[in-house]
Amino acid sequence: MDHNRLDTTELRELREQLDILKDKLQKEEIVNRKIIRNAMNSAANSLQRQRNFFVVAGLFAILYTFWGLDFIGLSLHFRITTVLFLLIAVIHTFWSHHGLSRSDFATEELITLGRRVASLKRRYSTWLYFSIPFLVLWLGWFVWELTGLFTDRDFLISLFVGMAVGGIVGGIVGINKHRAVQRNATQLLQHIDALTSSSTSEEL
Amino acid sequence: MAIPKNNEREFERLVEEQKQTIYTVCYMFSNDTFEIEELFQQTLINLWNGIASFRGDSSVRTWVWRVTLNTCISAERKKRRLKRNLPLDVSINPWQDNDNDSLQIRLLHQRIQRLGLFDRAIVLMWLEGISYQEIADIVGISPKNVSVRLYRIKESLKKMNDN
């Protein structure tokens, strides 16, 4: 099978239209030095930013949970459970992003990378099956600990109203994001399936 | 860490040589000018990250196609634009210009956009004259599979024309 055998009217038209685009682009500068410098700087900083973010977020979470929650007076069991959850969340994030570093984008085949992106999205979804029940229980525990610590009814009501509003807004945003991610993953996997299941027995 | 000077020059030369290809692919995966800018600059970042590890196992053209398509297919279309994106030096606006050539380009865009993500990638490479073996290497399927997909793409395009 060579190029010419497929060179039908439809594809010829596309090729002619593509040539028009190329002709137009030939007269354009497209990139300048500033754009190229910007790409080089973004690349160097971005890797550092990602690594630093996880380190700082992890350290902050551990410090805050151990000393911050201790300052409020929450129990040691509660603090240890929270730290463990946060550590698992960070490890899960690292694991989910494995094979999707910037350098992987420069070396991997389209399908391999597409599969990894789709599985990243699925892992994020699977994570919800664990994290949502956990957070519900965690919240219940948190409320129970607070009611044991504070007796001022008005203070507790204002605290719980604030938590409820934050929880609802966060929940809506999270669900919307989750659904969008699911849609993209499904679409990507469908494309990959269609591509890889092409019958080789079909005569062209 | 200092960036080797020779890598910088090599990168600039590479971008200069391949900018039209990169722009064309980004255009075919975009719906507006901002999206092209985002994909184009993300592609440059991925190329820059990969240039040190590029050992020449494949041709530069193959590698650029792979990185550009990987970036476009894997991109999550966020509504929020990255503030650091700079405007490209392009005077044409493929979505707004109304001369006959621009209408033809828009027609090409519409047809390509109606194909699935990977079909879009395959037909673009085929239109660029890339061999089945090279397309197969970039996508990760067999050359035979490439020919089957192209046949189906051709049928899809025919149906589009009939409609």
**Please, which residues bridge with residue A30 across strands?**
B89
Q: Is A36 within 8 Å of B1 when comparing Cβ atoms?
A: no
CB nearest to B104's CB, from A3, A20, A28: A20
pLDDT for B2: 39
Q: Which helix (H) or strand (E) holds B163?
A: none
Q: How far is it, in rounded angstroms, from Cα B100 to Cα B92?
A: 13
* pLDDT of B69 higher than 90: yes
CB nearest to A200's CB, from B51, B126, B144: B144
pLDDT for A52: 65
Residues B26-47 have pLDDT tens digits of 999 998 888 899 899 989 988 9
Closest-CA residue to B50 (of B29, B35, B65): B65
User: What confidence tier does B3 reach under pLDDT thresholds 50, 70, 90?
Assistant: very low
Instruction: Sort out which chain A residues have CB atoms less than 8 A from B63's CB and list them.
Output: 106
Of the listed ranges A11-20, A54-63, A83-92, B60-69, the least confidently predicted one is A54-63
Give the residue with greater pLDDT, A56 vs A80. A80
Closest chain B residue by Cα to residue A4 = B129
pTM for this predicted structure: 0.75
Residues 6+ apart with CB under 8 A from B61: B18, B21, B130
Instruction: Sort out which chain A residues have CB atoms less than 8 A from B111's CB and list them.
Output: 14
Q: Is A195 within 8 Å of B139 when comparing Cβ atoms?
A: yes
